[in-house]
Chain A
Amino acid sequence: MRPQRPARNSRDRLPVEATVRMSGKRRLLIPCSGIGKAVGEVAREATRLLMEELRPGTFETVCLPLIMTDDEGDTGELVRSSEVFAIDGCPKKCATASVKHAGGEVDHGVLVVRVLAKNRSHRPESIVDIGEGGRQLARDVAMTLIEEGGV
């Protein structure tokens, strides 16, 4: 049984030991945050699933816009020094682009529309409510990333 994530507030990073692999790197999970398409909401829901239900205590995340704008803070260094897991909603791949912008590399990436193409019955309804199909798709995405990343 995996350990439960300790109580914390979001200004504190997860205890380092909770997200560090044998390689010594922290695992950073970055979804695209898309608000224009339902697949962006699916990426967000997949992130919630991974962090809260499927692999609590395994990942930490950071606001995607902060990667774009935090020139003087430690966000860029966090991205560059971590094992990065990215969930992109659409082929624009904003999460991946932001990681590269910070000088990092995506170690394990999943594209929601590609997962959707494998099983079109799991289709999100809208960005306001992705519906049961969207929630199933988010679980498919989360499981794909678990398999891809070996976590």
Chain B
Amino acid sequence: MPFLPKIGIIACSGEGCSGGNISRAAALKVLHELRPHKTLTICLPLFLAGDSGERGFAEIFPTITIDGCSKMCAARGTARYSSEPAVKINIEDYAGDMCLDDTERWTINHSTDIVNRIAEDVARHVDRLRKELEEGLI
């Protein structure tokens, strides 16, 4: 069986607003629940703090970024310090501007459905990317 790389999941995880926490929760759900053996992650700031090993992460593993707001820090940071993400998810496309509301900055209270929808979409992208890798399309 040929080597099939895992898919990198990178969330912005920003503490500045609820969107960051939702991105983090969705990423953790994919990593630990939906696709635990097909995905892996790296702390986004590690691209900056780390060495060439960390910066080569997105050159080895196709990545899916999950951003909590339209500033798209995870997508831009990954592209800048590693390589262009294969998929860029913006939570605003699912739920509008989550940064207008501070109530879920630290804990998920009423956005469990949004977290689940995003996580399921990310899981579908994981399956698609791995299939494309298997078929040599990417």
Question: Which chain A residues have a beta carbon within 8 Å of chain B's beta carbons?
Answer: 8-11, 31-37, 40, 44, 47-48, 52, 61-66, 68-70, 92-98, 101, 127-128
Contact = CB atoms under 8 A, between A and B. Distances in A.
B44 to A, nearest CB: 5
A10 B48 contact: no
Contact of B106 (A9, A52, A68): A52
Given A10-B99, A127-B28, A66 B16 contact: yes
A65 B77 contact: yes
B28 A10 contact: no
B49 A92 contact: yes
A10 B27 contact: no
A9 B18 CA distance: 10
Contact of B13 (A33, A68, A97, A98): A33
Chain B interface residue count: which class? Answer: 35 or more
20 contacts: A9-B99, A10-B17, A10-B18, A10-B102, A11-B17, A33-B13, A34-B43, A34-B45, A35-B41, A35-B43, A35-B44, A52-B106, A64-B44, A64-B45, A66-B71, A69-B73, A92-B46, A94-B48, A96-B49, A97-B48
A62 B41 CA distance: 22
Residue of A33, A69, A95, A101 contacting most chain B CB atoms (<10 Å): A69
Contact of A65 (B42, B45, B100): B45
A95 B43 CA distance: 11
Contacts, number: 112
Contacts of B11: 35
Interface in B17-55: 17-18, 20, 24, 27-28, 32, 41-50
Contacts of A52: 106
B89 interface: no
Interface of B: 11-18, 20, 24, 27-28, 32, 41-50, 71, 73-74, 76-77, 80-81, 99-102, 105-106
B28 A32 contact: no
Contact of B45 (A10, A33, A127): A33
Nearest to B43: A34
Contacts of B71: 66, 69-70
